[in-house]
Structure 1
């Protein structure tokens, strides 16, 4: 039995070419233009700033006003012989009166002179001047001591009175040092409490 096969007719052009197999038609491709996008990246976070504050010393942390409130016993030495007081003594008197009035302290005045009382003709006038200047500062009540004669140095007498009466502060004008009545080198040795030296 014979079998016949029907072969396709030969055509001038092939049905499929290598280009048509490898490259899809243009209609199959969809062209979409790319949009330009701006990407904004945030700046890198800056490192946190750490502020370091040094801890003050205990002496610096205490306010000056608080220090004066601890001074309850104030000593005012009067060394000059002027019956109406010198400018330095007036300054020390007004300063100690203001401190005592503001911080509730007590004032003790010690009058020092190497001569005896009988030889000081204007001694009472000087005491009246001290009372007047303290009253002008708003402070009228105070203790009065006299260290007259004896030949002791004023610096040693101030230290002795400050020690015996447990003084917290001595108020003194620099005038007493410039006039050689008080030896500045002996202040730290004889006086057991702080000394407030007032400039001229």
Structure 2
């Protein structure tokens, strides 16, 4: 996949009342030239990630102003890369921010679980999924899309980019903890991800 990308930085005043001191890295959509056939774009090392659950989320929000529920972001991606079955502080922060944005803009949430070394016990894996569901349900999202990429042999940045492109997502929400812990290479994100990325400070 060959990309021609440029980068700008948009600060938090465009995202009022979130209170996280965020920076938003914008990688605008550009012309993409691919060598593989369209039907193969979802295949990471010869198989498609398993789609566990797809529904349109319904947020339980209070009365909104006319500006809310419409706007910038309609499809959000929350990558979960750390292997902590109880979710790391950075992942929990990213989940909370994704929920806030989804409520504000009436957006759908897709959770992408990436594990390139899936040798953990089934109990740990199930516990991670349960905790993801719990955190989103606490924010009012009982239903959401859940994708898993397990042992695909691809770079996490490439997997995130493929999913963001195939699902035509509007925003990826990711904690800087994932970069500092070397779960994902921050230098590769602008090369693979065709939509804005919100990086949350630790």
Bin for the TM-score computed over the shorter chain: 0.5 to 0.7
Residue 124 of structure 1 aligns with which residue? 126
Q: 1:89 aligns with which of 88, 91, 97?
A: 91
Residues 70-81 of structure 1 mapped to structure 2, 5 A cutoff: 70-81=72-83
Residue 173 of structure 1 aligns with which residue? 175
Give the CA deviation at 1:111: 0.2
1:64 is aligned to 2:14: yes
RMSD over equivalenced CA pairs, Å:
2.2
Q: Report the structure, 1 or 2, having the larger helix content.
A: 1
CA distance in 2, matches of 1:120, 1:141: 22
CA distance in 2, matches of 1:121, 1:98: 30
Give the CA deviation at 1:116: 3.6
CA distance in 2, matches of 1:150, 1:195: 23
Residues 132-171 of structure 1 mapped to structure 2, 5 A cutoff: 132-171=134-173
Give the CA deviation at 1:118: 7.2
Q: Report the structure, 1 or 2, having the larger strand content.
A: 2
CA distance in 2, matches of 1:90, 1:77: 11
Q: Deviations over 1:51-103 (max 9, x none)?
A: xxxxxxxxx9xx82579822100000000111110000000001101111121
The alignment of Structure 1 onto Structure 2 pairs a total of residues equal to 139
- In the alignment, is the contact (CA less than 8 A) between 1:77 and 1:109 conserved in 2? yes
Q: Which has the higher contact order (CA 8 A, sep 6+)?
A: 2
- CA spacing shift, 1:130–1:137, aligned 2, 3 Å: same
Structure possessing the higher radius of gyration over alpha carbons: 1
Give the CA deviation at 1:124: 0.5
- In the alignment, is the contact (CA less than 8 A) between 1:98 and 1:138 conserved in 2? no
CA distance in 1, matches of 2:158, 2:76: 17
